[in-house]
């Protein structure tokens, strides 16, 4: 993440940003120990990033360093919402088909399968019927047909998983498109970052798969959306 930002021309303090991101994810992983102090961690990280940026000779570079460090940390730490989703998951009825894996894992399965369904549907339908493209300045391969196909696939899969969790599958008509749209937005956001950096892939850790960030970009946006849906809509 910070390598891409540097390649895009934005100075930062990577070590501090990485520590801040890890702290925020740990806050999600062990809420009892840290007492869900995410807001406090963000405040402390923001202050430390500002202090670290004071060393920059040019105040404009210092401002960029401050903003970029905090942004990079917050963006990467969105993955912690996968854990928060499990924490927020409501109880699964004992008669539900997926009751045996637990409510936390069940809702994370819904997230994962919903995102994968969107990606698969968008790829297959876009490849077969895709003509008109959108946001080509960010990602030239995205088509309206692929968008529709992906949203349809995520809606069907999410509805099926909701039913398997003992929930009304009609909820998939709301949650399914939300998961698909968030997954697409997450992919486009990371593509914008790579374009700005002049990079084809986010890294080389997973050869042939574009880098680790390319594998999780959709989840960075989709996980908070599903968590918000659970908190706001599910009882």
pLDDT at position 141: 86
Residue 227 has a pLDDT of 95
Q: Please report which confidence band the pLDDT of residue 55 belongs to, taking 50, 70 and 90 as the band edges.
A: very high
∠ at Cα 140 (226, 208), nearest 5°? 75
Q: What is the pLDDT of residues 155-203, one digit of tens each?
A: 999 999 999 999 999 999 999 999 999 999 999 999 999 999 998 888 7
Residue 44 structural domain: 1-80
93 and 60 in a common domain:
no
Domain end call among 80, 97, 113: 80
**The tokens 């939300």 sit on which residue?**
178
Please check whether residue 89 is in contact with residue 103, taking contact to mean a CB–CB distance below 8 angstroms.
yes
Count: domains in the chain: 2
Same domain for 156 and 64? no
Residue 205 pLDDT greater than 80, yes or no: no
Mean pLDDT of the chain: 92
- Distances, alpha carbon 127 to alpha carbons 95, 133, 147, 184, in Å: 40, 12, 11, 16
Same domain for 99 and 28:
no
Q: Do the beta carbons of residue 64 and residue 57 sit within 8 Å?
A: no
Please indicate, yes or no, whether residues 38 and 108 belong to a single structural domain of this protein. no
59, 113: one domain: no
Boundary residue ending a domain (62, 80, 98) = 80
């Amino acid at each position: 993440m910070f390598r891409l930002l540097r390649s895009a021309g934005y100075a930062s303090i990577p070590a501090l940003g990485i520590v801040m991101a890890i702290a925020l994810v740990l806050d999600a992983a062990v809420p009892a120990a840290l007492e869900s102090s995410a807001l406090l961690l963000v405040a402390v990280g923001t202050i430390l990033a500002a202090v670290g940026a004071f060393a920059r000779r040019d105040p404009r570079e210092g401002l960029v360093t401050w903003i970029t460090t905090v942004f990079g940390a917050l963006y990467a730490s969105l993955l912690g919402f996968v854990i928060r989703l499990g924490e927020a998951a409501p109880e699964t009825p004992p008669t539900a088909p997926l009751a045996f894996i637990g409510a936390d894992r069940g809702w994370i399965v819904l997230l994962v399968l919903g995102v994968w369904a969107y990606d698969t549907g968008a790829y297959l339908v876009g490849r077969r019927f895709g003509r008109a493209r959108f946001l080509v300045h960010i990602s030239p391969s995205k088509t309206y047909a692929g968008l529709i196909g992906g949203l349809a696939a995520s809606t069907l899969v999410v509805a099926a998983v909701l039913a398997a969790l003992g929930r009304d599958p009609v909820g998939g008509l709301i949650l399914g498109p939300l998961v698909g749209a968030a997954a697409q937005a997450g992919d486009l956001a990371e593509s914008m970052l790579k374009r700005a950096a002049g990079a084809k892939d986010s890294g080389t850790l997973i050869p042939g798969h574009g880098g680790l960030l390319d594998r999780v970009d959709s989840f960075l946006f989709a996980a908070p959306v599903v968590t918000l849906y659970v908190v706001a809509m599910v009882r």
